[in-house]
Structure 1
Amino acid sequence: MKNPYKNQIKIEFDAVSQNEALARVIICGFLMELHPTVEELCDVKTALSEAVTNSIVHGYKDQSGKIKLICRIYNDKELYISVTDFGRGIEDISKAREPMFTTDRESERSGMGFTIMETFMDELKVTSRVGKWTRIVMRKKIA
């Protein structure tokens, strides 16, 4: 059976802040086959950075853990990104997606992560199971 996607990568890495930069490098290399504009590349890197940072900061909150990154290309032009952590989960996804909402009031978090992801990507879907996992799925058509 033929895969419905043209290309795919799967990688799992430790939920540490240094690996946010790794995720950005990975997506840049993966995206090159679509010949993105500089603007498209920056949009995707920024959205992915926010997703990975959310997983590290909110999913694990000073605990160790893993993040699973899946990237796919569909129809020669559509980028799919899935970022999954296996941490605390999100109790109220609708509330978490509100601009300026944050569960980390002690640090300098702005509560704009999901808003930034929505702004730079064509589609954003967040699913979660409290105490188990959170998955952020983003899609973007590359011109």
Structure 2
Amino acid sequence: MKKNITLLLLFFTLSISAQDIFGKWQTINNKGEEKSIVKIYEENGVVYGKIIKINDQSKVNALCTECEGDNYNKPILGLVIIKDAVKDGEYYKHGTILDPQNGNTYKLRLALNEKGQLQVRGYLGFIYSTQYWEKVK
């Protein structure tokens, strides 16, 4: 019996530690609406996220008209919205996230929660907003 419990705990620990933030995520806004799919990937130890699908077909060809700099008038589909995040303890942070709806860029913190959702938190000073994205299978 002890052996079975030990094996079960080991399996549970390994399955949780095997989960990571990389892959495709269904974005869900603060109203609970599924907006897009973002692919989160790593290059040279730095984390990025790119919009690879827009759910609303009428917005597939939308441009980032509110964005500034290099992103101004770029297609939202294919836009890299998460930049420069790095692992820091249990979080990925020190990067930024772009909201293509308003062109604002926020400081970023990413983490997996106990439900396997990606907690995406954007900061503007001490004010923050959190979304929970679902992993795409």
Structure 1 or 2: larger helix share? 1
Please say which structure displays the higher CA radius of gyration.
2
The answer to whether the superposition gives a TM-score over 0.5 is no
- Kindly indicate whether structure 1 or structure 2 has the higher relative contact order, using CA contacts under 8 Å at least 6 residues apart: 1
* Pairwise TM-score range, normalised by the shorter structure: under 0.3
Q: If the length of structure 1 is used for normalisation, what is the TM-score?
A: 0.25
Structure 1 or 2: larger strand share? 2
